[in-house]
Amino acid sequence: MESARAAFTKLENAIGSVNPEDFLSLDDDALRAIGFSRQKASYVRGVAHRIMVGKIDLEALEPMNNDDARKRLMEIRGIGLWTADTYLLFSLLRQDI
């Protein structure tokens, strides 16, 4: 958790408010300096792009039950069970996954 927090702080320092548009403005070197591997950068760029074009609606996950929300998240390239459950716990504040 500590390394994730440090990486997020580096990302905030690089772009200010963390949002898809500003994330996509970062080049490979900037992302590497923040701590993104080439593969992780590719995955997150894909998520950011999908959010921008409306292919991902994170707010639509809120009313879903855990299984449906998890399934929807795991349709996204680079998101597996651990990432989906982490999103449910920390972003949607689900207590029981």
CB 20 within 8 A of CB 51: yes
Report the share of the chain in percent with pLDDT over 70.
99
Question: Where in the chain are the domains?
Answer: 2-52, 58-90
Helix, strand or coil for residue 70? helix
For the cut 70, the answer to whether the pLDDT of residue 93 exceeds it is: yes
Q: 67 pLDDT band (50/70/90 cuts)?
A: very high
For the chain, strand residue ranges (E) read: none
Give residue for tokens 């609606």: 57
Q: What is the mean pLDDT of the chain?
A: 93
Cα–Cα distance measured from residue 66 to residue 92, given in angstroms and rounded to the nearest whole number:
10
